[in-house]
Amino acid sequence: MRHRLCAGRAFVAAVLVMGSAGVALAQVARVSGFVKDATGQPIKGATIRADNPDAALSTLTSATDDKGRFAIIGLARGEWMFTAEAPGFQAQFSELNIQRIGTPNPPLAFTLQKAVVHPPAGVEGVSAKDLQQQLAAADALYHQQKFEDAVGIYRTILASAPSLAIINLQIAAAYRNMKQYDQAIAAYNDLLKAEPDNPQAVVGMAMTNVAKGDVQAAEQALTRAADAPLSSRDVFYDLAEIKTAKNQTDEAARLYQRAADADSSWGKPLFKLGTIAMNKGDNAAAVKAMSQVIAVDPTSLEATQARTALEQLKR
């Protein structure tokens, strides 16, 4: 769940949650990246959070600038879970194993999908204009990191328009930012009661369990979702990431392939398949997978990495 971008002078400074000012920069790492919407436009003011319960500084956060760029400094070595969130968008998760200290790590690229759309006129007798104003107010509070206040308005909207259960995604995201993981899981469950197969709720709940330290619960949730008839590419990919972390490489490869099959234009799982093949010494399979990344997703950062990998494989 990974990628590279050079920082410009207008970069928004990373907001670090540091309990001690004496952390030596030589002993920590830096990760940068960008956040865009589904049309490729940068998302300004998105929140990026890095979590690692095993690190002394277990949570670090940053925000994107007007070009959608971010940087986080202060990461220790180890497995980090990154969450990109923005008002009105579905949260996206990515994992990165930090190994490089003092040199650039692979960058992260997030593409956020819209989560809450403007409600149609006459939703349960409530004025569409009023609902839109309430949504805008809640999103503004979320953007200001006033998460409790945002949740209050989101819940007011739900009370007047219960059919807008999708708002539970925003409520869950707010609770995740406050590290109130049980409340976040409860919000995801509320959405699943209305939309039992909602993939964002399933993935969000699983990643919340990971942040909570309950990887087993996350794996169980994703496994159930992967067996559902209309499962999404993200379910397969995120479950593959868990299998990879557990060194269950063959099972991970099967799931990465399912993710690739679910979205033939997505290079990310294909790159993972190529990496697995490289680690096994199967150069032919690695070349095939990396070539597919470039063919189907030529402008992605995975394609850039695939080109580098192909150069190494052909030496």
Instruction: Please give the full DSSP string across 123-190, using - where no structure is assigned.
Output: BTTB-HHHHHHHHHHHHHHHHTT-HHHHHHHHHHHHHH-TT-GGGHHHHHHHHHHTT-HHHHHHHHHH
Least confidently predicted of 57-61, 68-72, 120-124, 131-135: 120-124
Architecture of the structural domain at 232-315: Alpha Horseshoe (1.25)
Architecture of the structural domain at 115-213: Alpha Horseshoe (1.25)
User: 65: left (phi > 0), else alpha (psi -120 to 50), else beta?
Assistant: beta
Reduced to 3 states (helix: H, G, I; strand: E, B; else coil), residue 42 is strand
Q: 13 falls in which pLDDT band (50, 70, 90)?
A: very low
Q: Where are the beta strands (DSSP E) in the chain?
A: 29-37, 47-51, 59-63, 69-75, 78-85, 92-98, 108-112
Least confidently predicted of 92-101, 138-147, 168-177, 282-291: 92-101
pLDDT in tens, 248-303: 999 999 999 999 998 888 898 999 999 999 999 999 999 999 999 999 988 777 88
Predicted local confidence at residue 7, as pLDDT:
33
Strands 59-63 and 69-75, bridge-based pairing: unpaired
CA-to-CA distance for 226 and 239, rounded, in angstroms? 8
CA-to-CA distance for 163 and 107, rounded, in angstroms? 38
Domain borders along the chain are 25-112, 115-213, 232-315
Q: Which residues neighbour 104 within 8 Å (Cβ) at sequence distance 6 or greater?
A: 4, 30, 32
Higher model confidence: residue 22 or residue 265? Answer: 265
Residues in the chain: 315
Reduced to 3 states (helix: H, G, I; strand: E, B; else coil), residue 271 is helix
Per CATH, domain 25-112 is 3.40.50.1470? no
Q: Is the pLDDT of residue 244 over 80?
A: yes
Predicted local confidence at residue 102, as pLDDT:
65
Predicted local confidence at residue 8, as pLDDT:
33
Q: Is the pLDDT of residue 70 over 70?
A: yes
Q: Is the pLDDT of residue 21 over 80?
A: no
Q: 136 falls in which pLDDT band (50, 70, 90)?
A: confident
CA-to-CA distance for 234 and 252, rounded, in angstroms? 13
CA-to-CA distance for 274 and 287, rounded, in angstroms? 7
Q: 104 falls in which pLDDT band (50, 70, 90)?
A: low
Q: 155 falls in which pLDDT band (50, 70, 90)?
A: very high
Least confidently predicted of 113-122, 196-205, 298-307: 113-122
Q: 12 falls in which pLDDT band (50, 70, 90)?
A: very low
User: 61: left (phi > 0), else alpha (psi -120 to 50), else beta?
Assistant: beta
Strands 108-112 and 29-37, bridge-based pairing: parallel
Predicted local confidence at residue 123, as pLDDT:
53
Question: 0.85 exceeded by the pTM?
Answer: no
Domains 25-112 and 115-213 share a fold: no
Predicted local confidence at residue 250, as pLDDT:
95
